[in-house]
């Protein structure tokens, strides 16, 4: 059996917590349906006790979306656990995700609880969740700023109380791959041990730009679930980008040796839908799904890609549902790319017209950056006309 990493998508819970995002139930169901099409293993549909609207959305997803496990978040409080179960009870495979912080900062300033209080509360509420379902996840919030011995002890208590997934959150994006990998390895060794019914999970934030790197370090250390959001959306600098982790594990299977169950050809459509529904644009140079992820303007790169795509692309854009690579014409473009553009437009010209039009295109690129297909057509027509060879050119326009 293939060693596989479960993909836990929190776009609809942690992702939606990004400032300015407020998805209604219809939007959440639409995104959840696409996430199921993508093939994520778990959808964290929301935080049911947070608002009536979120409760309705989670309930509908549990009832209507088939395929993935449907999870609901709950603080380690009886009313939260009960409300979470009420929302997801109709799912084919429901999960209650209980969290309580273990860091001194949170215990002192937010929770006003002692270590003993935290331990007792986790035990009681994980057990309460387990009374509802066998699929229970526990997260020690702010684990990477916690005292490791205490965090490990609380995680062990959660497993003893019935948790089957232990998630280690880097809540504020504080960890580095080295120390996060060490913490994960310790939880795998000391809490999971040789138990096949317990999964260790990674949940990283991107405050230092390390969320994906930390998640991959966790996989290398034995984590077999990664949590994140589509397009990396979320509070502050966002969450681990699901699409980046999936493609890293797929492209670098030689390094990680694990599989994922995601249908990668649905990645771009999922990214587009999330961007459209949340109003959060995808940055042009975003890995995997950005507009420029498979675009080439440099003449050297264009020449290489036109001869053999893998010279400058480690992923096939078709594999993520983006179509063909894009050759962008501009001041950095070379003759091979310009010839390719003319061929795509169905334009055949003499060497003289080609050189003059190429030079004109470079001049325009200096002024405006990208040169469009229509601008290329206009340049060739103008150059051909000025060189009084228009009759020999227009016949080859299509």
Identify the CA nearest to 61 among candidates 99, 95, 31.
31
Mean pLDDT of 226-244: 98
Cβ neighbors of 219 (< 8 A, separation 6 or more) are: 5, 202, 226, 249, 256, 258
Where residue 380 falls among pLDDT bands split at 50, 70, 90?
confident
Name all domains of the chain by residue range, CATH numbers in brackets.
Answer: 6-278 (3.20.20.70), 295-394 (no CATH)
pLDDT, one tens digit per residue, over 254-286 is 999 999 999 999 999 999 999 999 999 999 899
Q: Is the pLDDT of residue 393 over 90?
A: no
The DSSP-derived string for 78-142 is HHHHHHHHHHHTTSSSEEEEEE---SHHHIIIII---HHHHHHHHHHHHHHHHHH-S-EEEE-TT
Mean pLDDT of 249-254: 97
Where residue 350 falls among pLDDT bands split at 50, 70, 90?
confident
Mean pLDDT of 230-245: 97
pLDDT, one tens digit per residue, over 18-61 is 999 999 999 999 999 999 999 999 999 999 999 999 999 999 99
Spatial distance between the Cα atoms of 13 and 309, rounded to a whole number of angstroms: 38
Q: What percentage of the chain reaches a pLDDT higher than 70?
A: 92
pLDDT score recorded for residue 110: 96
8-state DSSP, 188:
I
pTM recorded for the entire structure? 0.86
pLDDT score recorded for residue 390: 44
8-state DSSP, 264:
G
pLDDT, one tens digit per residue, over 57-81 is 999 999 999 999 999 999 999 999 9
The DSSP-derived string for 67-80 is SSEEEEEEESSHHH
Q: What angle do CA 73, 77, 83 make, to 5 degrees?
A: 55
pLDDT score recorded for residue 340: 79
């Amino acid at each position: 059996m293939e060693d596989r990493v479960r993909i836990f998508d929190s776009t609809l819970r942690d992702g939606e917590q990004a400032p300015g995002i407020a998805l209604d139930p219809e939007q959440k169901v639409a995104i959840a349906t696409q996430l199921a099409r993508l093939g994520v293993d778990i959808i964290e549909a929301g935080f049911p006790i947070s608002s009536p609207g979120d409760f309705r959305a989670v309930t509908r997803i549990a009832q209507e979306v088939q395929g993935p496990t449907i999870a609901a978040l709950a603080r380690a409080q009886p009313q939260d656990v009960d409300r979470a179960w009420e929302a997801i009870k109709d799912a084919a495979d429901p999960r209650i995700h209980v969290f309580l912080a273990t860091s001194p900062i949170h215990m002192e300033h937010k929770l006003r609880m002692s270590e003993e209080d935290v331990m007792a509360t986790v035990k009681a509420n994980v057990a309460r969740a387990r009374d509802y379902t066998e699929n229970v996840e526990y997260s020690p919030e702010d684990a990477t700023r916690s005292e490791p011995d205490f965090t490990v002890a609380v995680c062990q208590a959660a497993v003893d109380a019935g948790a089957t997934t232990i998630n280690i959150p880097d809540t504020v994006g504080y960890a580095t791959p080295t120390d996060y990998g060490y913490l994960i390895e310790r939880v795998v060794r000391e809490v999971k041990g040789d138990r096949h019914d317990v999964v260790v999970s990674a949940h990283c934030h991107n405050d230092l730009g390390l969320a994906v790197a930390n998640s991959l370090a966790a996989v290398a250390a034995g984590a077999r679930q990664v949590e994140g959001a589509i397009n990396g959306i979320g509070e502050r600098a966002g969450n681990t980008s699901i699409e980046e982790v999936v493609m890293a594990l797929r492209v670098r299977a030689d390094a990680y040796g694990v599989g994922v169950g995601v249908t990668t050809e649905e990645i771009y459509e999922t990214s587009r839908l999330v961007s459209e529904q949340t109003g959060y644009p995808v940055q042009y140079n975003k890995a995997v799904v950005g507009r420029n992820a498979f675009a080439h303007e440099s003449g050297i790169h264009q020449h290489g890609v036109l001869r053999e795509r893998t010279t400058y692309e480690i992923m096939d854009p078709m594999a993520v549902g983006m179509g063909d690579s894009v050759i962008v014409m501009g001041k950095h473009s070379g003759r091979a790319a310009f010839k390719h553009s003319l061929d795509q437009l169905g334009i055949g010209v003499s060497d003289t017209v080609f050189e003059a039009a190429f030079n004109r295109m470079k001049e325009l690129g200096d002024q405006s950056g990208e040169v469009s297909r229509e601008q290329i057509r206009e340049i060739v027509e103008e150059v051909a006309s000025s060189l009084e060879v228009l009759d020999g050119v227009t016949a080859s326009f299509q």
